[in-house]
Amino acid sequence: MSSASRSSVGSVADCDFCAIGRGEDDSAEIICEGDNWVAFFPLEPATPGHTLVIPRVHAPDLWSIEASIGSELMRAVIRVGRAVELALSPDGMNLITSSGSAAEQTVFHLHLHVVPRWRNDAIGNIWPPEKPMSEVVKENLADRIREACVSVVDGEDAGEP
């Protein structure tokens, strides 16, 4: 998804997560927060302790956020993850974010899922995929991505102003 199409998905005015970030949604169960982020329980948690961490500023997904906000958001995710681990002692934990409908994103405001996991929980196995990737598809992927990394500096496309 290009940055142009990402920026047009959703808006601050109709974004439920922006309302939570502004403190305008009393139904959100806030877990903790900082100046630029909020952590809260989703309406339909996948497991006990499943927590969403969002930036207060509107950004459709991880790939459209400013690097400085992304860095602060990751510190928040680590804090929340450690708190979940301390409070619940899960067997493991997933950190998940989605970008675009093909990745099953349904709320177009960046959110990171901190999902505590237990053996035999309701989620089941999410990796590895049932069918391995073909060698034809894998061929040259590393070279293509390495080449693209050269044009990205600190999470920003070097070609954009």
Q: Which residues are catalytic?
A: 111
Q: Provide φ and ψ at 7, rounded to 5°.
A: -70, -20
Structure tokens at 74: 């990751």
Judge whether 38 and 136 are in contact, CB under 8 Å.
no
Give the separation between CA 150 and CA 161, rounded to whole angstroms: 16
Sign of CA dihedral 36, 82, 126, 52: negative
DSSP label of 140: T
Residues with Cβ within 8 Å of 65's Cβ and at least 6 positions away in sequence, in order, are 55, 57, 59, 73, 110, 155
| C-alpha 59 chain-centroid distance | 11
